[in-house]
Copies of this chain bind each other. A is one copy, B any other.
Amino acid sequence: MSRYMSARFAGLNAYTPGEQPRDMDYVKLNTNESPFPPSPQVLAAVRGEEAERLNLYPDPECTALRQALARQYGVEKENVFVANGSDEVLNFSFLAFCDKENGVAFPDISYGFYPVFAQLYQISAKVVPLRPDFRLAPEDYSNLGCTIVFANPNAPTGLALSAAQVESMVRANPDHVVLVDEAYVDFGGESCVPLTKQYDNLLVCMTFSKSRSLAGARLGFAVGNAALIEDLEKIRYSTNPYNINRMTMAAGIAAVESDTYYKENCRTIQENRAYTEEQLARRGFSTLPSKANFIFTSCPDMDGGALYRALKQRGVLVRYWDKPALRNYVRVTIGSRPQMDAFLAAVDDARKEI
């Protein structure tokens, strides 16, 4: 930190993205990307005429993209906010809906970026422990008197609440925004988007990075009451009104129009997940029941760090956390069938050496 940086950031611990080593060609199961390329329509859109207009600013209102998403989710354009990845949706939401007086609550085990945003903006954070079985208990979020954010399905556990359970949380906090991060919802979770029509304090955040194979294009969005979306727009127009570039906008619209392709990919991921879970069960692993494109699994004879290192040596990247409650687990992205077989083979090979 230079002597010019604001002293309020002295203790700020930034987010650590999943590693991207370049020393060899890894089977990359550590950042929950899709193993499938973007749809042919997306490739055509990116390679089309739009590139010739890159000298002109993009539409700051993102009208066509918001209309496409509104049609897909059965809402109006005014209910849709788009951003440079769902991280930006979260960033703007922390800025808009939290402050020194109105803090934020989130689970102790969830997306690692929530505490970073709270630190960045000096927002007081109530960290609510998951239950010992990693379950998020909705009743733990009653009357907290602050904004609430959590991932559903949760990460890195993969466990999901039903929409009815989320609704109970939204009803129990009528004076505060409940932000549901549905980054992983398309792999078997139940979306709360339909509830946004009933509850003006419910904001649902989603991404094109997982089910829609566009992690490299950076596109996230939120659906909610028009007044909440206007609040986010006020922040966007006060930070970066042209936050979505032309190529990403074109890719996003084409992706919405490729729903059949992506739904099919999601089905394949769910099949590969079931296959991997079953294969690991045969090997004595304990795996949480996942509704996401990853699993959180514990090896019977190695802790998470040891398994991570053994797999990395064998060319397979997974993710682990060096925290007491998570130490026995690794998080494994569900990729293609050949990727999962490579993972399983590496697991078997690693365990031979114990």
Interface of A with B (CB < 8 Å)? Answer: 1-2, 4-9, 12, 14-18, 20, 28, 31, 33-38, 42-43, 46-47, 50-60, 84-85, 87-88, 91, 95-99, 101-102, 116-117, 119-120, 147, 176-177, 200-201, 209, 213-218, 225, 227-228, 230-231, 234-235, 237-248, 251
Contact = CB atoms under 8 A, between A and B. Distances in A.
| Complex A-B, nearest 6 residue pairs according to Cβ-Cβ distance, in ascending order | A14-B237, A2-B227, A216-B246, A55-B213, A6-B99, A54-B216
Contacts of A120: 235, 238-239
A4 B56 contact: no
Contacts of A214: 54-55
A331 to B, nearest CB: 16
Where chain A touches its partner, the secondary structure class is loop
B177 A4 contact: yes
A217 B239 contact: no
Given A9-B234, A54-B216, A55-B216, 4 more contacts: A12-B234, A20-B60, A43-B52, A55-B215
A167 to B, nearest CB: 18
B58 A91 contact: no
B98 A6 contact: yes
Nearest to A203: B4
A242 B102 CA distance: 28
Given A238-B119, A245-B245, A231 B5 contact: yes
Contacts of A240: 84-85, 87-88, 91
Given A119-B238, A242-B87, A228 B4 contact: yes
Nearest to A244: B218
Nearest to A245: B218
Given A20-B60, A243-B84, A35 B6 contact: no
A101 to B, nearest CB: 8
A116 B51 contact: no
A300 B245 CA distance: 39
Contacts of A242: 17, 85, 87, 215, 218
